[in-house]
Amino acid sequence: MKEKQSFEDDLKKLQKIVEELSGGKLTLGESLKKYEEGIKLAESCSKELESAEHKVELLMKKDGKFALEKFTEGEEK
């Protein structure tokens, strides 16, 4: 399950890292470490966007309680 919040957090972290890297105030060791971290974040974010789970469900409500059902296209519920 993808979490919008963690994705946003990761992206923000990545943006910050890129900013720090372009700031040019890091030592070579620090920047290599940041770079590695940044690439990892970018890869994991891309992976989330490229995942192909595409879960489709139907939200049902019975007696005030929610239930999820598999959605079958063309079926009236």
- Contacting positions for other proteins (CB under 8 A): 2-4, 7-8, 11, 14-15, 17-18, 21-22, 24, 26, 28, 31-32, 34-35, 38-39, 42, 45-46, 48-59, 61, 66, 68, 71, 73-77
What minimum distance in Å lies between the beta carbon of 71 and other proteins?
6
Q: What is the CA radius of gyration of the chain?
A: 20
Sign of CA dihedral 25, 28, 33, 36: positive
HSE, CB side, 13 Å, CA atoms: give it for residue 74: 0
What minimum distance in Å lies between the beta carbon of 31 and other proteins?
5
